Structure 1
Amino acid sequence: MANILVVDDELGIRDLLSEILNDEGHTVELAENAAQARNARQRARPDLVLLDIWMPDTDGVTLLKEWRGTGQLTMPVIMMSGHATIDTAVEATRIGAQSFLEKPITLQKLLKAVEQALVRENSARRPVMDGVEAPAAAPAIGGTSELTVEAAMTGGHSLPTAIDLTPQGQQVFELDKPLRDARDAFEKAYFEFHLAKEGGSMTRVAEKTGLERTHLYRKLKQLGVDLSRGRRGSISSA
């Protein structure tokens, strides 16, 4: 797993990317502007940087040039933007960015870009064997809308419990309740079951339940599902 620096001036995007990458087992550090990104880069070299182009103090392309000019571009960088042109994307990859993601960022393209960048980085660090060095992969440009990175997610509220666990682990529902409460109780049990079954991986739960990642996060928060329960049980298998 990798140490990833996410640089974006939008709080909702930083939080969502952090949740997704943490769920994949990565360690994530957040920066909301170029100044914080510089400090994070100086403290420790990240394995990968996700860098927004449009930021209020210094734009991402300028920061990328700065890192390259000072010899600090020693890690793969994935550029992100919802307004950049093809020319901007080409310039960023020419400077040294590994790839470019267009906002809104899809879950599949995010995870694929991260995986490819880390694979390239690991290949580059590998010692040359028998005098043959593996060729570097070309940068990629992509990104279309499927998983929308939203600015905020609704908070959850406590619901009256409608589920008891028997010693055999079977779920018992109280049917003498309003339909909405009974349905929420069932949905909470349903998602808790899949979280436990998938070891707390939101990616696999999203695939199993057929929900987009952002919708799934909002749903779990609304139902008051403890997202840490599945992760605690999955540490040994990570």
Structure 2
Amino acid sequence: MATILVVDDELGIRALLSEILTDEGHTVELAENAAQARAARERRRPDLVLLDIWMPDVDGITLLKEWGSTSQLTMPVIMMSGHGTIDTAVEATKYGAMAFLEKPITLQKLLRAVEAGLAKPAPRGNEAPPLGGGLPLRGDGGLTVESAMTGGMGLPPPQPLQLGPQSEQSFDLDRPLREARDAFEKSYFEFHLAKENGSMTRVAEKTGLERTHLYRKLKQLGVDLSRNKRSAL
């Protein structure tokens, strides 16, 4: 797993991203401003940085430029903002950012961006990557801030869940509806927990439930979470 530095002046966003990424098995460092981000980068040399654009002291673009100009941009950087523009997105790629996440950040987009970032070779020195991360920008009228930094590439459509013969379950239908439904839901969540190696974040993503709702549902159904915990956590 990787070491990821999250730089954002909002405590709630730092806490949420930390929880999700830690649940995925990563080591997370947190910084609320540029000064803390500089110190964290020197201390831990992160494999990836999630960097907010709008911060009270030094903004994310300025910090990105600084790292690039001093040959410290040795890790992929993903920019985040709830108030970005296409010009801002293009400027960020110009100075070395590999992707852009618009707030509020969805779980699927966060995990996909992190996975892509960790798979991408780190920049060398102050060499900036091609505009748009090496992908052609699409000039259609529906261009968004996020697509400006990803070459207009959208998320792939969700794939249907394939249940093999080994996953088949039998249920006693000669019982009250509530009991039959609870039995099905328990098997359903146990299947996903086993498939995702106990990752609550990925199960929440797969099943379309908020994490807090998912925890309550599993407790209500009597699902044993201890046996599904990943050894890495």
> What's the secondary structure of 2:28's corresponding residue?
strand
How far has the Cα of 1:191 moved from its partner?
A: 5.4
Q: Answer yes or no: is the 8 Å Cα contact 2:201–2:211 preserved in 1.
A: no
Question: Relative to structure 1, is the Cα distance of residues 88 and 197 closer, same or farther in structure 2, using a 3 angstrom cutoff?
Answer: closer
TM-score by length of 1: 0.64
Unaligned runs of 5+ in 1: 126-134, 144-178
2:18 partner SS: helix
Give matches, 1:210-225, under 5 Å. 211=208, 215-220=209-214
Q: Deviations over 1:54-77 (max 9, x none)?
A: 111111001111111222111110
What secondary structure is seen at the aligned counterpart in 2 of 1:235? coil
Q: For 1:67-216, list aligned pairs within 5 A.
A: 67-121=67-121, 138=134, 141=149, 194-195=192-193, 198-209=196-207, 211=208, 215-216=209-210
Is 1:229 matched up with 2:226? yes
- CA 1:119/1:55 → structure 2, altered by over 3 Å: closer, same or farther? same
What is the letter of the counterpart of residue 138 of structure 1? G
Provide closer, same or farther for how the CA distance between residues 11 and 191 of structure 1 changes in structure 2, counting only shifts above 3 A.
farther
Distance 1:222 1:81 in 2: 31
* Deviation at residue 193 of structure 1 after TM alignment: 7.4
Identity of aligned residues (%): 70
CA distance in 1 between partners of 2:13 and 2:55 (Å): 13
TM (norm. structure 2) is 0.66
**Structure 1 17/69 Cα, relative in aligned 2: closer, same or farther at 3 Å?**
same
Flag structure 2 segments of 5+ consecutive residues without an equivalent. Answer: 136-147, 153-177
Q: Count how many residue pairs are aligned between Structure 1 and Structure 2.
A: 193
- Give yes or no for the alignment of 1:60 onto 2:68: no
